[in-house]
Structure formats: structure tokens, C-alpha cells
Amino acid sequence: MPLKVKSPIGIYGGTFDPVHYGHLRPNLELCEIFALDHVRFIPAFAPPHREAPQTPAEQRLEMVAQAIEAESRFVLDDREIKRGGPSYTLDTLKSLRQDYPDNPLCLLMGMDAFAAIDCWYHWQELLDYAHIIVSQRPETDFHASEQWSTAVQALYEQHQAERKAISQTLCGKIRLEPVTQLSISATDIRNRLKNKQSIRFLMPEPVINLIKYYNLYT
Ligand code: ATP
């Protein structure tokens, strides 16, 4: 344990195909609740547990860059795209731990992602490198935990912690946190574009401009 634990850093992975306000607003709130130094947005190159993203990595990266440009507490991190191959979160956390040996690392994710965490590559090791902060998603609620597998429930029960524990230790805690709920998903946005419906007010305007420029999701 270092003599002085520095400010916690948020780690937020996703396909971001495309990025939307449902990704942005909850993380800003978590940033404030946990006094995070910053949140690193890390687009996956090849997500191991779902179909490959429709949009090339470079364009997803560009969309995230545009989306977070105006918020100094949000930082783009292209390490998974540079690394190539399957984007295992454990590998990402190991490399972040090397870069930030004295900062608590907080893996930020929605309830849906946490419910399936026992399918992630070497999932039992994730908490050796980071805390997990789970934000509530609109279509789920805290009762969703009743549908967690026994393994996920056990993980939560063993590691759940109070807010203050997040800034006091480098890793190993799990915290569920309610945030402003935005019922937005990338799937819905892609469908709207396919159906020639408007996507206005679902994501920052510069991202919409990029989607139009590259003629994505048509
Ligand atoms: P898709 O619809 O293609 O599955 P998505 O909108 O869920 O995409 P992802 O990039 O797959 O976005 O998700 C990355 C992370 O963002 C996950 O942890 C997911 O739980 C979270 N997330 C996505 N949408 C929301 C939302 N509206 N509110 C809170 N968290 C969200």
C-alpha cells in the first residue's frame, strides 16, 4: 500500500457505437460523487462478449473525442485500440495500474454489464486491480440484483463497500450508485438511423455531425 493514496480515476470501457448521453451524464455524476481525478473513456477494439462493432475503431474513437471535448474531466484513452486483439478489461487494468500505481482505479459500468461480469475474462482478478462502481440503468433497478447469478451475488456481497472506501483503497470494492437515468442505447440510435428517424438530443451535436459526415448506420 502506498504511503498516500492519490485521487481515484474512473475507467469507462464500451463499444461506443455510437457514444451517447447515456454514457456521458452518469459518468459526470460519478466523477462528482467520488471526486474522481478524471474518467478515461476507453473504446474497445474487439469486445470479447458481443458481436464486433459495426463502425471501425478509428471512427468510434473520433466520435468519443468529439463527445468529451468540452469536459476537461473526461479523457480519451486509445490503449485497447492500439493493443488490438480481444479487448480484455483485465489487460487494460494491468496496464493502467502500471501507469497509475498510487491511484484507486474505478471501473465504471452499467447494471447490465455488472450482471454479466462472471462471463468476463479472468473476472475474479478484476478487483485485484480496480474497484467497480455500478451505475443504475433506466430499465433496471436495485431489484435487478435478485436476478444476478449466484457468483455475481457472492462477488457483490463479499466486496460491497461504503462510498468513502473508494478513495481510501486502491482496489477491491464494489459500490452500486444511482445516477440520473437516461433511457438511451446505441442499439436504439442505430435503429433510428436505419429507419431515417431523428437522433437529435440523444448525443452531442458534434457526434451527430460525424455520423452524417461518415454516413454511418444507414
Ligand atoms: P449497445 O446498445 O450497442 O449495446 P450501449 O448503448 O449499451 O450499446 P456500450 O458501449 O455497449 O453502450 O456500453 C458501454 C457501457 O455503458 C456499459 O457499461 C453500459 O452498461 C453503459 N451504458 C450504456 N447506456 C447507458 C445508459 N443509458 N445509462 C447508463 N449506462 C449506460
**pLDDT digit string (tens) for 110-157?**
988 999 999 999 999 999 999 999 997 655 565 677 789 999 999 999
Residue 102 is classified by DSSP as: T
Handedness of CA 103, 109, 114, 118 (dihedral sign): negative
186 lines ligand 1 (CB under 6 A): yes
165 lines ligand 1 (CB under 6 A): no
Query: Which of 15, 176, 181 has the most ligand 1 atoms within 8 A of CB, as the residue to mutate?
Result: 15
Are 28 and 56 spatial neighbours (Cβ–Cβ below 8 Å)? no
CA of 129 to the centre of ligand 1 (A): 22
135 lines ligand 1 (CB under 6 A): yes
Look at residue 2 and tell me whether its pLDDT is greater than 60: no
Are 68 and 75 spatial neighbours (Cβ–Cβ below 8 Å)? yes
Q: What is the pLDDT of residue 136?
A: 78
14 lines ligand 1 (CB under 6 A): yes
Look at residue 10 and tell me whether its pLDDT is greater than 60: yes
Question: To the nearest whole percent, how much of the chain has pLDDT over 90?
Answer: 86
CA of 1 to the centre of ligand 1 (A): 33
Where is 40: in which H helix or E strand? strand 39-43
CATH topology of domain 9-182: Rossmann fold (3.40.50)
Are 217 and 189 spatial neighbours (Cβ–Cβ below 8 Å)? yes
Domain boundaries defined on the chain: 9-182
pTM comes to 0.95
AA identity, residue 198:
S
Q: Which residue has the cell 466520435?
A: 63
**Cβ atoms within 10 Å of 125's Cβ, excluding its own:** 12
CA of 64 to the centre of ligand 1 (A): 13
- The secondary structure of 103-161 as a DSSP string is S-EEEEEEHHHHHTGGGSTTGGGGGGT-EEEEEPPTT--GGGGGGS-HHHHHHHHHHB-
Q: State the average pLDDT over residues 161-167.
A: 96
CA of 170 to the centre of ligand 1 (A): 25
Look at residue 106 and tell me whether its pLDDT is greater than 80: yes
Residues 44-83 have pLDDT tens digits of: 999 888 888 999 999 999 999 999 999 999 999 999 999 9
